[in-house]
């Protein structure tokens, strides 16, 4: 059975395929931190990370909630 996770050459998750939810895409920075995800409905969540890669902010661009 194939993995639902697609990774890039550095092992970072780029895509998740779930039969009941569709495909979620991920954008990473050069350090591998996830900066944004986009779900099958086009909803985008952005993440702000500090210098140590810790998530400091999370914003749902669909709802505007942080």
At 10-63, the pLDDT tens digits run 999 999 999 999 999 999 998 999 999 999 999 999 999 999 999 999 999 888
Q: Strand, coil or helix: what is 2?
A: coil
Q: Quick one: pLDDT band at residue 66, thresholds 50, 70, 90? A: confident
Q: Is the pLDDT of residue 1 over 70?
A: no
The pTM of this model reads 0.81
Beta-strand relationship, 13-18 and 44-49? unpaired
């Amino acid at each position: 059975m194939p993995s639902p996770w697609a990774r890039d050459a550095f092992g970072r998750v780029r895509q998740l395929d779930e039969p009941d939810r569709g495909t979620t895409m991920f954008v990473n920075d050069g350090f591998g931190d996830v900066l944004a995800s986009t779900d099958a409905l086009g909803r985008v969540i952005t993440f702000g990370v500090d210098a140590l890669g810790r998530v400091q902010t999370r914003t749902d661009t669909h709802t505007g909630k942080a």
